[in-house]
Amino acid sequence: MRGYFSPSLLALYAGLAFSASALAGEVQVAVAANFSAPMQAITSEFEKDTGHKVLASFGATGQFYAQIKNGAPFEVFLSADDSTPAKLESEGDAVAGSRFTYAIGTLALWSAKDGYVDDGAALLKGNSFKHLAIANPKAAPYGLAATQVLANMGLSKALEAKLVEGQNIAQTLQFVATGNAELGFVALSQVYKDGKLTRGSAWIVPAALHEPIKQDALLLSKGKDNPAAKALLEYLQGPQAGAVIKSYGYQL
């Protein structure tokens, strides 16, 4: 005998399915390029656990600020610094009190060549390379940190002519990965997973050479009434997201 479901039971199942879909929502998120890989991993788990859908865009923090000010439909912002979210909050473009630090970034001097970067400080001072890639310091906090490193090492003028500037940290990584620059300052998270480099060679820049890269998240004004946006920010502060963030070399 084939399985039989009464009309009332079918109606109950349909009602439960409708309720689940009604509770699920979408959230549009602006994400700093350095956080691309961990965000993709977090998004996958968040969507499984909550049923909500994340629509993420990745790019430079400064560019996202301009887009948000010009009315872009982002509801959550994961910045590569803490000053830009603070500015948006003070200017009334975000929900007051929603801002928190979701990660502290690590800057790395990286080359696609195995063994090329050993003593990064000595390599920079030796000045034997043709090109050094950095992200646009006006738009990307990791680029700003890179300029601080060069300044603190007294190398700004000596290496100025060799700098190749990416629009964001993702393009900077691409310059190095394709060999257009022998080395470059990138986010450690782009070349690191579970305690080891995923490719090439790198020097983790001592934190004392640049200001801390505190990465803040906040709820933007367009997301103040969206349960999915609030759920994502809460999830980012939980243990599952924290484990992913740490696995990519960030501090919490």
Give the three-state DSSP class for 27. Answer: strand
What kind and span of H or E run contains 237?
A: none
| Residue range 159-216, pLDDT digits in tens | 999 999 999 999 999 999 999 999 999 999 999 999 899 999 999 999 999 999 999 9
| Domains annotated on the chain, with CATH | 25-104+213-247 (3.40.190.10), 106-209 (3.40.190.10)
Phi, psi dihedrals of residue 106, rounded to the nearest 5°? -120, 130
- Virtual CA dihedral for 160, 81, 201, 244, nearest 10 degrees? -170
> Which band of pLDDT confidence, cut at 50, 70 and 90, is reported for residue 23?
low
Q: How far apart are CA 77 and CA 73, in angstroms?
A: 11
| Residue range 233-251, pLDDT digits in tens | 999 999 999 999 999 999 9
Q: How far apart are CA 167 and CA 59, in angstroms?
A: 9
Q: How far apart are CA 213 and CA 23, in angstroms?
A: 36
- Rounded to two decimals, what is the model's pTM? 0.83
Phi, psi dihedrals of residue 103, rounded to the nearest 5°? -165, 155
